[in-house]
Amino acid sequence: MLPDARPRDPSRISWSRRQLFLQSEPLSLEAFARPAVELARGLLGCILVHKTTAGMIVETEAYLGENDLAAHSARGRTSRTQVIFGPPGRAYVYFIYGMHECLNVVADSDGIPGCVLIRALEPLCGLPEMYRRRDWRGSICGLTNGPGKLTQALAIGREQYGQRLDKGSLTIRRWRTPPSFEVGVTPRIGIRQCADWPLRFIWAGHSCLSKR
């Protein structure tokens, strides 16, 4: 089982996929059907799985819809953002800065835009694949301590746009015995609009958090 010590030191921890699945269960679609702020908090400590790779979510950001000028949905429904306006528990993946894919989880309910950006993970499964994909030679936390890093490490791209997150190759799971940790709250990172809104949620003190 996961230790409760804080902050986490994942440098010597690696899980097999079988171990991980025995100790966890997939989130149901109903678990995603809650306001983005609540979901952003609730996803901390959950596990993002894509095929043979996985990591534990340690940092998220909530985006609130049409009144949140930092949210893509503030521009209304477009071909890019239509999944945010649909049913919850789907993946919203977009390309940014001409180089990074970012993964968001659709929240709220059908017709109400809201999503949660996955900002950082603690790597758990498939570490050799992650190192190879990132061409990374540094610490284990450096593999996935940023939204663009984690999608590259787990090979998540726009082909996963709209995919359900309760089943299939890209899923979010929760531990049968949840880990204990403190939640920290800060303003979101790297945005200009609504930059002071306290909508970034972190596993306080975790060594795999993203860097400002």
List C-alpha distances in Å: 179 to 24, 58, 118, 191. Answer: 12, 11, 18, 30
Give the pLDDT score at 4: 43
Per the model's pLDDT, the better-predicted residue between 81 and 56 turns out to be 56
The CATH label, of 3.40.190.10, 3.10.300.10, 3.40.50.1970, 3.30.2010.30, for the domain at 14-203 is: 3.10.300.10
- Calculate mean pLDDT across residues 169-185: 97
Instruction: Report percent pLDDT > 90 for the chain.
Output: 81
Q: Which residue has the tokens 């979010």?
A: 172
Give the pLDDT score at 137: 94
The rounded distance, in Å, linking the Cα atoms of 174 and 24 is 5
pTM for the predicted model, two decimal places: 0.93
Give the pLDDT score at 100: 86
Give the residue extent of every domain in the chain.
14-203
Give the pLDDT score at 98: 64
The rounded distance, in Å, linking the Cα atoms of 19 and 173 is 13
- Calculate mean pLDDT across residues 154-172: 96
Give the pLDDT score at 14: 78
Which stretch of 5-9, 12-16, 56-60, 134-138 has the lowest confidence by average pLDDT?
A: 5-9
List C-alpha distances in Å: 116 to 2, 4, 19, 40, 43. Answer: 24, 25, 27, 6, 9
Buried b (16+ CB within 10 A) or exposed e, 137-168: eeebbbbbbbbbbbbbbbbbeeebbebebbee
Number of CB atoms found within 10 A of residue 192's CB: 7
Q: Does residue 56 contact residue 45 with C-beta atoms inside 8 Å? A: yes
The per-residue pLDDT of the chain, averaged, comes to 91
- Calculate mean pLDDT across residues 140-154: 96
Give the pLDDT score at 5: 38
The rounded distance, in Å, linking the Cα atoms of 150 and 17 is 18
Give the pLDDT score at 99: 73
The rounded distance, in Å, linking the Cα atoms of 193 and 70 is 5
Give the pLDDT score at 113: 92
pLDDT 10s digits, 1-45? 454 434 455 554 678 999 999 999 999 999 999 999 999 999 999
Predicted confidence (pLDDT) at residue 97 exceeds the cutoff of 80: no
List C-alpha distances in Å: 72 to 118, 167, 177. Answer: 15, 26, 35
